[in-house]
A = this chain, B = another copy of it.
């Protein structure tokens, strides 16, 4: 059952291009509804959006027909925004009175949309230092590996694996092993490699666009069968991308060529390379492990994207955008209890902006010469840029959520309202350029560990300037070396008696 979202009668609004909007539940659903109302609805006619409710109750009520419909719609439309959903545990099945424990929708989506890669990139706020200084990109092969393994728990015996070719040639034994333990599990899986070529193109194009150095991560030194993944990536790179990367100077840090990293070494480099400015492509399970590590190094799963890229039958890319975090149950419980919450919606909004951009791109690909399509595309692009600037500036001016701005930060509702105010101001004035230059307000009290009364005496800007002067490493902290140098230079270092 498809529900049309928020049709509107205001003809002045731009008609947003078709997009699938998958609704989830709890805190992230609440926040998304709020920000859609305040940020999107005032500027767009959303009647071309198709909304599917993947809450547990809706899946239960429809015997999961709604998931099938959502996947079909995604295939047809090609641009999907998904809120976090709940995959119910046995306890939740009881609590919610569900017919069964509906599984994660991910499998159906990856299959239905011919998943090639799950792209996961760090999210940055201009002017605020995160875990990685510059962008980190990741392509995780969306298929293959142990996720689709066959297995059994067996005792002593022999395990025989045979391959029977479709072309009628002779079958042959892939593996024959004696199991000598009394308790074994045996595991069989395959990696389908046909779409690795497409994954390579997606990866290298993105690395060029974001100006980062590409690395291919496998365990092929020991898991010899992974050589094929590297071979295909290297071939595509050498044939079509190497020159561009060389020209852009993006291979300077990797010895002038596409470089392979062993997966366990990659876990180490992810901690060392906090300057960012690199991308990695990996198999499915390695990608699962490594992208969660990236999220944590960068700050939390709130600051990394998760976009499934697949392919429709006509060759256009299907892209599904979602936040990397869950439904944030603890804040939802606080909200239901009438307490203040402060949800950082950055991951949600980056997903929403990504889906809206892709939806506009798909229309432009279809009608590159249609005037109103070109106008719509330009409007969406400008809107997304302006919205991102509004959000970033709100964070930078100390009006962000409490995870970033400390206990004096804004609530969920106040943050969304403040961004809406700023967005409208920027859009109204069509003065994006000016907006970027908006002067930062004076430092808030919370930035100084000095009583309010005293604070007024001092020149905060001068203190900040002094701090920057002695924070030579620029990490927002002064270490003992910097401290000693500072005391000496300020003439207040204690002298020997």
Instruction: Choose one: B158, B190, B494; the contact of A164 (CB below 8 Å).
Output: B158
A490 within 8 A of B: yes
Q: Interface segment, A36-44, A50-58, A174-182, A238-246?
A: A174-182
Instruction: Choose one: B176, B219, B457, B475; the contact of A496 (CB below 8 Å).
Output: B457
> Number of A residues contacting the other chain (C-beta, 8 Å)?
101
A147 within 8 A of B: yes
Instruction: Choose one: B166, B193, B297, B466; the contact of A156 (CB below 8 Å).
Output: B166
A467 close to B480 (CB less than 8 A): yes
> Scoring A residues 347 to 358 as 1 if CB is less than 8 Å from chain B, else 0, what string do you get?
000000000000
Copies of this chain: 2
A228 within 8 A of B: yes
Instruction: Choose one: B191, B285, B463, B488; the contact of A487 (CB below 8 Å).
Output: B463
A293 close to B293 (CB less than 8 A): yes
A1 within 8 A of B: no
> Scoring A residues 327 to 362 as 1 if CB is less than 8 Å from chain B, else 0, what string do you get?
000000000000000000000000000000000000
A202 within 8 A of B: no
A478 close to B477 (CB less than 8 A): yes
Given A289-B264, A457-B495, check contact A163 B159 (CB 8 Å).
yes
A127 within 8 A of B: no
A440 contacts across to B, CB distance below 8 A: none
B166 close to A150 (CB less than 8 A): no
A292 close to B264 (CB less than 8 A): yes
Instruction: Choose one: B163, B188, B493; the contact of A158 (CB below 8 Å).
Output: B163
Instruction: Choose one: B182, B222, B447; the contact of A481 (CB below 8 Å).
Output: B447
A485 contacts across to B, CB distance below 8 A: 448-450
Q: List 19 A-B contacts (CB under 8 A).
A: A150-B161, A151-B224, A152-B163, A156-B165, A159-B161, A159-B174, A161-B161, A163-B186, A183-B193, A185-B228, A187-B188, A264-B292, A265-B292, A458-B496, A459-B496, A460-B484, A467-B483, A476-B480, A477-B477
